[in-house]
Amino acid sequence: LMLWYGVPELTVWNRWIMGFENDSQINCVTSANKSIHHINPVAEPGTGTEGVVIPFSDNKVIVVESRRRTGYDVMLGKESEGALVYAVDTSKSGNGGSGPFKALGPKRMKSGQWINFDAPLKAGETLTFEGWKITNLESGKFGDVVAIEKVAK
Tens-digit pLDDT string for the chain (153 aa): 444 545 578 889 989 999 999 999 999 999 999 999 999 999 888 889 999 999 999 999 999 999 998 887 777 777 889 999 999 999 987 665 667 888 888 887 776 555 556 789 999 999 999 999 999 999 999 999 999 999 987
The answer to whether 85 touches 104, Cβ cutoff 8 Å, is yes
- Backbone dihedral region for residue 13 (phi beyond 0: left; psi -120 to 50: alpha; all else: beta): alpha
Going along the chain, which residue ranges are E strands? 26-28, 35-39, 51-55, 60-67, 82-89, 101-104, 126-129, 132-140, 143-150
Q: What integer pLDDT is reported at residue 87 of this predicted model?
A: 93
The residues, any chain, with a CB within 8 Å of residue 10's CB and separated by 6 or more, are 1, 2, 18, 20, 42
Would you state the torsion angle of the CA atoms of residues 122, 128, 133, 138, taken in this order, to the nearest 10 degrees?
Answer: 0
What is the pTM for the complete model shown? 0.89
